[in-house]
Structure formats: C-alpha cells, structure tokens
Amino acid sequence: MITLKPIDILSEEMPTCVVLEVHPEQRNYVADNAISLAEAYDENKNHAETGKGAIAVPYAVYDNGQMVGFAMYGYFFPYIDEEDAYDNHNPIYYFWRLFIDKNHQRRGIGKEVVRQVMDIIKQKPQGDAPYCYTSYAPDNIGSKTTFANYGFKEDGRIIGGETVARYKI
C-alpha cells in the first residue's frame, strides 16, 4: 500500500529520505532529495516572510511502511515581472518533484504517487488555481509517460530546458 507522509528538514525520517537514489542515468532528471527539502524550506520561509514565491509541500513516499521515494508540489504566487510565468501571472499548483528509489521503480509506485498528490491538489488546499503544471527533460520518457497517462498535456513550451505540461484542475 502506497502512502504519503509530510516531511521536512526537521523530520526524523529526513536522513532516510536523503539517501534514496535513482539509477545513474536518471540523475540529470531529478534533484537529490536533500536539495528538494532545502528548496522547500527556503520557499516556505520566503513565503512566510514576504507573501511571495511558493508554498512547498513535500512528502515521503512509503510502500507498506518502507520509505521508497519523495514527492513535492508547490503553490506558486508568480511575481508580476517573472519572465517564465506559467499561467498569465495567476497562482498555480506545480507538481515539483517525483522521486522513486532505484530499487522500487517499475512497480507502479510513481503512477500511484501522482494520483495521490493530484487528489490533494484537486482539493486546492493552499488556494484556488485553474491548473497544475509540471515539467521534465524532453528525453525523460518515464516522467512524460507517467504524467501523460494521468492527463497532463504538453503545452508547447520549454522553460528552463524542460518541457511544460499542465492539467486542468
């Protein structure tokens, strides 16, 4: 049974999360979990102090009680002068990270994590937004397939070298 549990840099589970690994050929596709947790901390701190940026919501992924991955979404408040605004400067949800340990891939865990995270996002817990976006390297067939199978559609843009896809919430 796949479950999600909130995690942050102060969680006792953090050391387990940061040692999870993807296959060597996947390292260019996703940040290490330590970097993701640090980004979440920084974004949440910045948002608390300024009201700008993002609210990051990170989760440890468990399979029958064993941590096997990491997922994170964000609720973004784009700056007015942001060049790469995803949705005409409206707030958006963004499926920010999907990381399944190399020893637990190809078992449908990623697909189930996307479903569970999107079930949360559809409730719009941080506020209203019409879309959830994600992005991935153009040659990352695994992410492309996983998100397309859920219903994300590429919108024709490349931002930061990554293909952009969106889902109407």
pLDDT in tens, 130-157: 999 999 999 999 999 999 999 999 999 9
Tell me if residue 161 falls in helix, strand or coil: coil
Q: How high is the pLDDT of residue 53?
A: 80
Let me know: does 74 contact 57? Beta carbons within 8 Å: yes
Q: How high is the pLDDT of residue 144?
A: 96
Residue of 100, 54, 57 whose CA lies nearest to 79: 54
Q: How high is the pLDDT of residue 28?
A: 84
Let me know: does 150 contact 118? Beta carbons within 8 Å: yes
Tell me the one-letter amino acid at 34.
A
Burial of 155 (0-12, 13-18, 19+ CB in 10 A): middle
Give me the residue label for tokens 């340990």.
101
**Neighbour-count burial for 18-38, b at 16+ CB within 10 Å, e otherwise:** bebebeeebeebbbbbeebbe
Three-point CA angle 17, 43, 68, nearest 5°? 15
pLDDT in tens, the chain (169 residues): 999 999 998 899 999 999 999 888 888 888 899 999 999 999 999 999 988 888 999 999 999 999 999 999 999 876 555 555 566 678 899 999 999 999 999 999 999 999 999 999 999 999 999 999 999 999 999 999 999 999 999 999 998 899 999 999 9
Let me know: does 58 contact 8? Beta carbons within 8 Å: yes
Contacting residues for 153 by C-beta, under 8 A, at least 6 apart: 165, 166, 167
Distance of CA 153 to the CA centre of its chain: 16
